Structure formats: structure tokens, C-alpha cells
Amino acid sequence: MVKANILKLKERISYICSKINQDPSSITIVAVSKGRAPSQIEEALVAGITDIGENKVQEAIAKYNDMRYAICDMPIRWHMVGHLQTNKVKDAVRIFDLIQSVDSIRLAQEIDKQAAKINKIQDILIEVKTSGEATKFGLDPRAAVDAIKEIIKLKNVNLKGLMTIAPLADNPEMSRPYFRMLRKLRDGVNAISDKRYAISELSMGMTDDFEVAIEEGATMLRIGRAIFE
């Protein structure tokens, strides 16, 4: 079932890409596997998924230890997509290839410190709270540019781009303004002439709104239910 789901998902991605003249292979599918069994994740890997997203460090470590050798020769890229507490950073930098949910300068500084201890340059995305919802994590869009200027100075952190989560809605079109805001923010950062600020990734779009996200320039989709249910 996971395999069929992935085939269908890829067809939908290709269809949208063909409409906007984009190469579907330029979009990374991150299979968000929180709460799913390792056997389901294995099915996804066999079906060609290379990127796995988790939202809790403890759960991710258990799966990482379990899966590391599950499919030999198949490197898995692990993504942290949930809120990261400072006291979990040490464990997080050990296993994650990309921490997508950096929502404060303080967290970025802690990542820098822990990554330096293990001689790692940690790839990160900054999570932006495009919706302004009080219940969500993420940097205020107005504060994001200044935060980026601080974070870019950190030696053991490599800022790759931005991430956002649109508010829950019945209609995927409702997500469009939030995705568009994220793209404009990235383009604004890239317009700063200092090339150190160049960022490319836009992680946006989930099961219910990934098609709109692609239209708005997503480079990474975080998909749970459309793959595992």
C-alpha cells in the first residue's frame, strides 16, 4: 500500500510540475513517519523514498538505530521537523542530516555549539510562523531577516532555507498566501547582495496542500498521510 501511495503521490507531483514547467526531480519528498512502524518506513525506502522526517528526537533515535542497516547501501537522510528543545540538541545533531525546525537564534546557537563538539556542520532550515498563530512555533516573518543575519555567522551551522506550516484548513487554496509569504521572504534574503545569505530550500506543503506548495515554489514537501495511510 505504501508503494502504491508513493507512485500515486509522484504522479500528482509530476502533473503539477508539468503545468508549471518544473522538473519533478528537483522536489524532495520527505516522508514524515512519526508514529509509523519501522516496517512501514522500510516499505517507503524500498519504493524509492530517501528522506525521512520525524518530529520527536527520542522516537527518531530509536528508528535511526533500528533502520540504519535495514536496507543496505541505501543512505537515508533524516529530517527533524518538530519543535526541538534545547536539551535535545545534543542528540539531534548526532542523527539528523537536516534540522528543519529552527525557531530561535538561541536554538541555532545551541546547535552550533553541539555540532562543533562532534566536528559537524549541521544543515538547518529556519521555521517561519507565516500564519501568526499563537499555538505554532516559528520565527515571526518580520524578525526572520535579522535572525538569519545572526545565524549565518555561526560556524558549525549551514542555513539552507526556510520552512513553514500553513494553518489547518478545508481548502488547500487557503494555504497559498502563507507559502507565497515564505517564498517572498527567501527571495528577499537572496536579494541581499552579500552572497553568504543565499538560501534555496523552501520546505512547505503537506498531504492536504502540497500541490499548492509546488505551485508556490516548494523544494521540499513533508508528506505523512498520503504515504502511510
Ligand X SMILES: *Cc1c(COP(=O)(O)O)cnc(C)c1O
**Footprint of ligand X (CB under 6 A):** 32, 34, 55, 81-82, 165, 206-208, 222-226
Residue 49 one-letter amino acid:
I
Rounded to a whole number of angstroms, the minimum distance from the CB of residue 226 to ligand X is 6
* Residue 219 DSSP label: S
Choice between 154 and 161, CB closer to ligand X: 161
Q: Which CB atom, from 67 or from 226, has the smaller least distance to ligand X?
A: 226
- Residue from 121, 229, 147, 139 nearest 181 by CA: 139
Select 88 or 154, whichever has its Cβ closest to ligand X: 88
What are φ and ψ of residue 163, in 5° steps? -130, 145
Backbone angles phi, psi at 8, to 5 degrees: -65, -40
Q: What is the DSSP string of 184-203?
A: HHHHHHHHSS-GGG---EEE
Task: Provide the 8-state DSSP code for 66.
Answer: H
Of residues 42 and 59, the one with the C-beta less far from ligand X = 59
Q: How far is the CB of 222 from ligand X (least distance, A)?
A: 4
**Chain residue whose CB lies nearest ligand X:** 224
Residue with cell 535572525: 147
> Measured from the CB of residue 32, what is the shortest distance to ligand X in angstroms?
4
- The nearest distance, CB 83 to ligand X, in angstroms, is 9
